[in-house]
Amino acid sequence: MKLYDYKMAPNPRRVRVFAAEKGLDIPLVDVDLGAKAQMDDAYRVKNPQMIVPALELDDGTLLTESVAICRYLEELHPTPNLFGDSALERAQVEMWNRRMEQEGLAAVAEAFRNTVPGFAGRALPGPHDYDQIAELAARGQARLAHFFDDLNAHLATSAFVAGDRFTIADITAYIAVDFAKVAKKRPDDSQPALIAWRDKVAARPSAAA
14 near a second copy, rule: CB under 8 A: no
Binding mask 105-124 for a second copy (x = CB under 8 A): -------------------x
Alpha carbons 178 and 152: distance in angstroms, whole number: 14
3 near a second copy, rule: CB under 8 A: no
Alpha carbons 151 and 197: distance in angstroms, whole number: 10
The residues that bridge with 194 in the sheet, in sequence order, are none
52 near a second copy, rule: CB under 8 A: no
Alpha carbons 133 and 131: distance in angstroms, whole number: 6
155 near a second copy, rule: CB under 8 A: no
Angle in degrees, CA 51, 55, 58, rounded to 5: 140
Alpha carbons 87 and 180: distance in angstroms, whole number: 32
88 near a second copy, rule: CB under 8 A: yes
Which of these segments, 11-19, 85-93, 189-197, 199-207, binds a second copy (CB under 8 A)? Answer: 85-93
* Closer Cβ to a second copy, 120 or 142, answer by number: 142
44 near a second copy, rule: CB under 8 A: no
* Neighbouring C-beta atoms of residue 149, cutoff 10 Å: 13
Give every CB contact of residue 52 below 8 A, 6+ residues apart in sequence: 4, 5, 6, 9, 11, 12, 31, 33, 38
CB 83 within 8 A of CB 90: yes
75 near a second copy, rule: CB under 8 A: yes
* Length of the chain counted residue by residue: 209
* Closer Cβ to a second copy, 86 or 203, answer by number: 86
135 near a second copy, rule: CB under 8 A: yes
Which of these segments, 33-41, 66-74, 175-183, 187-195, binds a second copy (CB under 8 A)? Answer: 66-74
* Residues found near a second copy in the complex (CB under 8 A): 57, 61, 63-65, 67-69, 71-72, 75-76, 87-88, 90-92, 94-95, 98-99, 124, 127-128, 130-131, 133, 135-136, 139, 142-143, 146, 150
